[in-house]
């Protein structure tokens, strides 16, 4: 019996020690479960943050693609406009050159008319020549520029020239003939 009592004491002691170990293991298990729950929440939070970051990244990249596309369209439009400006500038230079040629021809015609007026008395053949020169000048102007303002300016110059010649008694015609030629 003493042996049983010693064995019972030993088993009670072992039971107490196993009970302490069990309590410790239960605490560790509870801590591990709590840690796992916390880790699961942290993982879920990190997953949400990662998904949010990926979504934001995708949105930024989409906006970047849109900006790049719009930039390319603007570059293309700028290139088209630069080509149009260059073509318009070439056309403007050509028109200026043609206008200068017409002005030089007009000046030559004016000088020729002055020379004829000073050396001749005007008769109907001279008026016909002036009328022909005026029509030629009008034709050149419409061919080169097609501008009504330029045609009006040239007619005004012819009228001024004829009036000038008449006022200095270089023309021996009546004023109604001058206006008729100018308004033809």
Does the pLDDT at position 2 exceed 80? no
pLDDT winner (highest mean) among 16-20, 111-115, 127-131: 16-20
Ordered by start, the domain boundaries in the chain are 2-182
Report the pLDDT value the prediction gives residue 144, as an integer from 0 to 100: 59
DSSP state of 173: S
The pLDDT assigned to 166 comes to 60
- 140 has pLDDT over 70: no
What pLDDT shows up at residue 39? 82
Percent of the chain with pLDDT over 70: 65
Asked whether the beta carbons of 109 and 133 are under 8 A apart, the reply is yes
How crowded is the C-beta side of 114, counted as CA atoms within 13 Å? 12
Least confident of 72-86, 97-111, 154-168: 154-168
Banded pLDDT at 163 (limits 50, 70, 90): low
Beta strands in the chain (DSSP E): none
For residue 61, give the H/E element and its range: helix 2-119
Chain segment 54-97, per-residue pLDDT in tens: 999 999 999 999 999 999 999 999 999 889 889 888 888 888 88
Window from 21-25, 29-33, 74-78, 145-149 with minimum mean pLDDT: 145-149
Distance CA 104, CA 100 (A): 6
> What's the confidence (pLDDT) of residue 59?
95
Rounded Cα gap, residues 107 and 129, in angstroms: 16
d(C-alpha 131, C-alpha 42), whole Å: 101
Which pLDDT score is estimated for 122? 47
Pick 49 or 113 by higher pLDDT: 49
Contact 131, 181 (CB under 8 A): yes
């Amino acid at each position: 019996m003493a042996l049983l009592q010693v064995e019972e004491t030993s088993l009670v002691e072992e039971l107490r020690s196993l009970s302490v170990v069990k309590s410790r293991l239960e605490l560790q298990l509870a801590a591990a479960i709590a840690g796992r729950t916390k880790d699961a929440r942290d993982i879920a939070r990190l997953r949400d943050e990662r998904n949010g970051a990926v979504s934001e990244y995708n949105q930024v990249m989409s906006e970047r693609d849109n900006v790049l596309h719009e930039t390319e369209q603007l570059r293309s439009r700028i290139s088209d406009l630069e080509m149009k400006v260059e073509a318009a500038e070439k056309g403007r230079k050509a028109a200026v050159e043609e206008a200068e040629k017409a002005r030089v021809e007009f000046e030559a015609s004016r000088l020729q008319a002055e020379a004829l007026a000073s050396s001749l008395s005007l008769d109907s053949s001279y008026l016909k020549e002036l009328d022909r020169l005026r029509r030629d000048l009008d034709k050149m102007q419409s061919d080169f520029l097609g501008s009504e303002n330029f045609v009006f300016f040239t007619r005004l110059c012819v009228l001024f020239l004829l009036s000038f010649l008449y006022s200095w008694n270089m023309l021996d015609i009546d004023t109604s003939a001058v206006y008729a030629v100018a308004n033809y």
